Amino acid sequence: MINRLTRGRTFTAVAVAGVAAVTLAACSSGSSDEATTEPAASEAAAEEPMAEGDAVAVSLITKDSTNPFFVAMQAGAKEKAGELNVDLTVGSGKEEGDDAGQIELIENAIAQGQAGILITPMSVNVNDAIKKARDAGLYVIALDTPTDPPDVVDITFATDNCLAGEAIGQWAAGKLNGEKATIAELVIFNDRVVSVDYCRANGFLKGMGIEVPTLEDMSSAAATGTYSTGAGGDYEIVCLEATGANEAGGRTGMETCLSKNPDINVVYTINEPTAFGAAEALKAAGKTVGQDVIIVSVDGGLAGVEAVKAGDIQATSQQYPLRMASLGVEAIKTIADGGAAPENTSANGQFFDTGVTLCTDDPMDTVTSAPQESAQYCIDNAWG
């Protein structure tokens, strides 16, 4: 095995063929099938190897480049790269689920002899490519989405997505105060295992006090039963709809759920773009969001927490993508310069916890998994 990070000190970061972003949040189209990466911070065109002490080459590979979450992550990485003399190449998949695009970008980073990779892994399908990168001497950090299993990468910088899900579940149970929960779950996929997907969705159910036999299986909870958080009560899970984690998918998924049961009063959404689509579908069906039905979500981008203040989302768990990316760039630069590798800080010892806050203007005593703050506090601390 090549010594970790030694190759990355002697190569420059250049633009390479990669994969262009399409949408996750807004579903825009028109991206070419052949994509490009975007060199950022300090692009050097020289063909000669770089001298010791010169810029360190790093790739940031996100799921797409249009979702405000990943745009913020890219901005945080670029800013830190500029401060630290890091040659940062930014690339992404064409769309949510583009495993092949991420694999191509990983292989490009290996071919360039870069020092490390920051990646929001699409699914377990990219695991072999990550292993190849580590075997080639690159230090690989997962951002936001932990790999499955966690030790596929060197370390993960992320929100505790299970706790983020639990917090909104605890809030929803408190808000219901014993009323029956008729639940719609709007997730990313129904055809693959993605840690951020199952951890948030099943974390939400666990937060409500619903038994989840298998964390990795989003359909493992019983369709009906009782929830125990707060006053407790009966529940029914009406649907588990894949949305692609975007607004159009959220609307279509919500319409499908309403066709199965028009009495849904709790909507879990994987992220805020999905929540926006769900809210549109509910309003079109004559529902009053915040009264007839409550919507809870995860992300905490500016548009999302503004929607909390406006009443279109009742609670969301805020995470901090700029912090993830900034710390990731800094970690690879530190290691490349001979410093110590970062250590895990999470309660389970499996990742570096970058924090989560429950954003709501209607706090509940039932929330114990995260601190609660007002929508305005979260607006003041939002990304996007």
Q: What pTM was computed for the model?
A: 0.78
Mean predicted confidence (pLDDT) in 246-270: 98
What is the predicted pLDDT for the residue at 142? 97
> Running DSSP on this structure, what letter comes out for residue 177?
T
Query: Worst-scoring range by mean pLDDT, 47-56, 96-105, 138-147?
Result: 47-56
What is the predicted pLDDT for the residue at 117? 98
What is the predicted pLDDT for the residue at 191? 86
Report the distance separating Cα 239 and Cα 259, nearest Å: 10
What integer best gives the mean pLDDT of the chain? 88
- The answer to whether 12 touches 55, Cβ cutoff 8 Å, is yes
Query: Worst-scoring range by mean pLDDT, 53-57, 208-212, 241-245, 303-307?
Result: 53-57
With bands split at pLDDT 50, 70 and 90, how would you rate the model's confidence at 330?
A: very high
pLDDT of 112 > 90? The answer is: yes
pLDDT of 97 > 90? The answer is: no
3-state secondary structure of 358: strand
How do residues 134-153 score in pLDDT, each as one tens digit?
999 999 999 998 898 999 99
With bands split at pLDDT 50, 70 and 90, how would you rate the model's confidence at 14?
A: very low
What is the predicted pLDDT for the residue at 23? 28
Nearest to residue 384, comparing CAs of 70, 62, 26, 40? 70
- 148 vs 26, more confident: 148
Mean predicted confidence (pLDDT) in 206-231: 98
3-state secondary structure of 304: helix
What is the predicted pLDDT for the residue at 33? 36
What is the predicted pLDDT for the residue at 53? 55
Please name the residue ranges forming H helices in 85-120.
99-111
- 114 vs 8, more confident: 114
Query: Worst-scoring range by mean pLDDT, 31-35, 79-83, 201-205?
Result: 31-35
Find where tokens 């369709």 sit.
223
What is the predicted pLDDT for the residue at 175? 98
- The answer to whether 139 touches 4, Cβ cutoff 8 Å, is yes
Could you tell me the two tokens for 99?
A: 């495993």
Torsion of CA 56, 62, 67, 72, to 10 degrees: -30
What is the predicted pLDDT for the residue at 37? 52
Nearest to residue 308, comparing CAs of 83, 24, 299, 41? 299
Handedness of CA 211, 213, 215, 218 (dihedral sign): negative
Find where tokens 């279509």 sit.
252
Mean predicted confidence (pLDDT) in 47-54: 44
What is the predicted pLDDT for the residue at 2? 37
Nearest to residue 245, comparing CAs of 192, 312, 294? 192
Query: Worst-scoring range by mean pLDDT, 35-49, 93-107, 154-168, 209-223?
Result: 35-49
Please name the residue ranges forming H helices in 23-143.
68-84, 99-111, 127-135
How do residues 289-318 score in pLDDT, each as one tens digit?
999 999 999 999 999 999 999 999 999 999
3-state secondary structure of 135: helix
Nearest to residue 317, comparing CAs of 353, 357, 266? 357
Report the distance separating Cα 58 and Cα 39, nearest Å: 10
Domains of the chain: 7-153+321-353 (3.40.50.2300), 161-318+356-380 (3.40.50.2300)
What is the predicted pLDDT for the residue at 21? 31
What is the predicted pLDDT for the residue at 64? 92
The number of C-alpha atoms within 13 Å of 144 and in the hemisphere containing its C-beta is 28
Query: Worst-scoring range by mean pLDDT, 66-70, 175-179, 238-242?
Result: 66-70
